[in-house]
């Protein structure tokens, strides 16, 4: 019994530590509003402009942006901010009306 407790403590200790430690290769998938190939290029370019983003791939069909980022350098929110700046909305951060209007006419997606 005592041994079991020690083992459990150890496991919890390790996992607690793991939670604190930021992942260098964290995977995230976020929904980004957009509608075309041109949007894809803009969204990925904006994502890559955030330091710590290692891989960014946005799907025209599903509107999902797959990210791998170094959390020691930046957070998902940083990426969302960068996306909003080039006119693309996410759940958390919306683009300003001005930035949205600056998008090419074909990229004027339906805002939620």
Partner 1 sequence: MIFNIKLTIMHKPLTMLLLLLSVPEAFAQEAIKADSLKAVKVEASSKSIKKSYTVTANSAVMTSKELLKAACCNLAEAFETNPSIDVNFSDALTGTKQIKMLGLTSPYLMITEENIPSVRGASQAYGLSFTPGTWVESIQITKGAGSVVNGYESISGQINTELIKPINDIPFFLNVYGSTDSRFEANVHASRKLSDKWFYSLLLHTNTRNSKKDMNHDHFLDNPLAKQVNVMKRYQYYNPESGWVSFINFRYLSDEKQTGEVDFDPNMDKFTTNHWGSEINTKRLDLATKIGYVFKDMPYQSIGFQNAFSSHDQNSYFGFNTYDIRQNSYYSNLIFNSIINNTMHKFAAGLNFTYDNYSEFVNGADVGRTDNSVGAFAEYTYDNNDNFSLVLGGRVDNHNRLGVFATPRLHVRYNPWEKAVLRFSAGRGKRSANIFAENQNLFASSRNFSVLDSGGKIYGLDPEIAWNYGISFNQKFFLFGKSSDIGIDFYRTDFENQAIIDVMQSPQQALFYNGKSYANSLQLEFNLEFFKHLDLRTAYKYYDIGTDYLSGNFQRPLQAKHRFFANLAFATHIDDKGHQWKFDYTFNWLGKQQLPNTATNLAADRLPEFSPSFAVMNAQITRTFSSQFEMYIGGENIGNYRQDKAILGNENPFGTTFDTSIVYAPVFGQMYYAGLRFKIK
- Per CB under 8 A, the list member of 12, 16, 25, 36 interacting with partner 1 is 25
The full 3-state SS of the chain, as one line of letters, equals CHHHHHHHHHHHHHHHHHHHCCCCCEEEEEEECCCCHHHHHHHHHHHHCCCCEEEEEECCCCCEEEEEECCCCCCHHHHHHHHHHCCCCECCCCCCHHHHHCCCHHHCCCCC
Q: Which of residues 77-106 bind partner 1 (CB under 8 A)?
A: none
- Per CB under 8 A, the list member of 53, 79, 82, 95 interacting with partner 1 is 53
Instruction: Return the range that interacts with partner 1 (CB under 8 A); candidates 23-31, 76-84, 91-99, 102-110.
Output: 23-31
Question: Cβ closer to partner 1: 21 or 111?
Answer: 21
Q: Interface residues with partner 1 (CB under 8 A)?
A: 23, 25, 27, 41, 44-45, 48, 51, 53-56, 68
């Amino acid at each position: 019994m005592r041994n079991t407790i020690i083992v459990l403590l150890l496991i919890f200790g390790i996992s607690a530590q793991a939670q604190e430690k930021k992942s260098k290769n964290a995977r995230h998938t976020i929904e980004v509003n957009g509608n075309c190939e041109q949007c894809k290029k803009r969204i990925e370019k904006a994502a890559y402009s955030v330091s710590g983003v290692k891989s960014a791939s946005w799907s025209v069909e599903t509107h999902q942006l797959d990210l791998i980022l170094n959390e020691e350098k930046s957070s998902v929110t940083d990426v969302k901010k960068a996306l909003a700046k080039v006119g693309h909305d996410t759940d958390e951060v919306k683009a300003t009306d001005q930035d949205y209007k600056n998008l090419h006419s074909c990229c004027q997606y339906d805002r939620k």
